[in-house]
Structure 1
């Protein structure tokens, strides 16, 4: 079946927000993801918040291309979390008619994390976006079961969600049974990529630094690596939109964002559009 595909920020991370929107439309993506806040202090992101000219340009590119904004990045919930700090992101998301915001859990106190997540969901309700909690093995929400635990403890708000990333499934204590057990109402999209089973030194004993490096800098095209992507996506709903997230600093910079993102989309379709 034919799926809905979104170009993730990391797949075209050298591009500005307007450029990413135009490229996504040119390549045949239906949606695009934008990172409007850094994932760490000083981290890369796309300039838009507080810049009305860039917002208008993005809105014009969206109208011209027919592409929509799927997800915005990123909200991180730490121990001292105030959801109102993210109002500028939510306001931009509403202006762009975004569907989702990617959320990371950085608080090891899962009860407090759940309370803060519930507060975030309540604040986001009027903005029309889901709050999709992504489990990552180096964060406080390490695997799919913990993501479900947090969302359930928060009362499963109507805009709650769990984001499944193929890389984090493969490198965390998450089974296909865990994925199949996630309630359909909590699944709004999933992230696609591939990766090797070892680090650069050939060891399968991956450190946190190894995992973070791959996630942010060196993922492989779907079908090139060791992740059983067909089995994973068979465990997920067949109509789930796919965010193609394949950063590779060396290969992407060699050919440019447009060509690299096109390769990532073609490889994803080859695996999933059966």
Structure 2
């Protein structure tokens, strides 16, 4: 089964949503991801949920395109989390046809974080959107086991764990941990490669995750091993920010390169 390919927000974060669709159409993507809320203060985002005119324009553009919106970013769960604050984002996501919203866990109080995630998942379910909790080694959800423990306490169809190849490689997560994630909780996975050796401090881990991911097959991550553990045909979001390479190659050559490399990586090798 051929996995749908998505052009993640972070790969072309300086590109507004309308032009993001143009790039996806030209380079063989099936879906896009949009960042409506910033991952960190001062970083780029496109708050369509606060701009009805821009949202209407994007809905019209999608109606004339084979490209679909798959995921929205990013809801961060902190100590003062209130899921009701994100109703406008989810309403916009429903209009766009989004399937998932990426969720980061920042609350170090595990019981409170678990309760907040459950309340968010319940809310997301009303909009037909899954709450994809992403484990990242520098956050309060550092690995796949932690994500499963938190998501298991929620109810309903919106429960979801997001697997990012970079975070698998840089956390304590094993392929056995990936295999233990209930298949119905896996809605998409993020693809990239990463440097070898792995950085040994959080600051460099975060910098590389946001700025210096590598083309699949050019780094040290066991991508074939990871994808062999995930369900066949699982949608793939190519999350691959690397501005030096992108600027040197230009958007067209850059996107063609990462699409081709991803296709090669997720296509099962035939045995003779």
Give your verdict on TM over 0.5.
Answer: yes
State the alpha-carbon separation in 2 of the partners of residues 46 and 258 from structure 1: 23
1:107 is matched with 107
The SS at the match of 1:132 is strand
1:133 is matched with 133
State the alpha-carbon separation in 1 of the partners of residues 59 and 121 from structure 2: 25
The SS at the match of 1:38 is coil
Q: Give the one of 188, 210, 220 matched to 1:216.
A: 210
Alignment of 1:78-157 (within 5 A): 78-154=78-154, 156-157=155-156
1:181 is matched with 180
Establish whether residue 227 from structure 1 lines up as the match of residue 227 from structure 2: no
> What runs of 5+ residues in structure 1 fail to find an aligned partner?
199-203
2:254 is matched with 260
> What runs of 5+ residues in structure 2 fail to find an aligned partner?
none
1:158 is matched with 157
Deviations 1:10-44 (A, max 9, x none): 11112101111121122111110000100112221
Contact preservation (8 Å) 1:3, 1:273? no
The SS at the match of 2:53 is helix
Establish whether residue 247 from structure 1 lines up as the match of residue 246 from structure 2: no
Contact preservation (8 Å) 1:79, 1:113? yes
Deviations 1:59-102 (A, max 9, x none): 22212221110000000001110011111211110110100000
State the alpha-carbon separation in 2 of the partners of residues 139 and 258 from structure 1: 34
2:39 is matched with 39
Aligned length: 268
Contact preservation (8 Å) 1:18, 1:54? no
Deviations 1:144-188 (A, max 9, x none): 00000001123x432110000000000001001000111001000
1:201 is matched with none
Shift of 1:3: 1.4
The SS at the match of 2:152 is helix
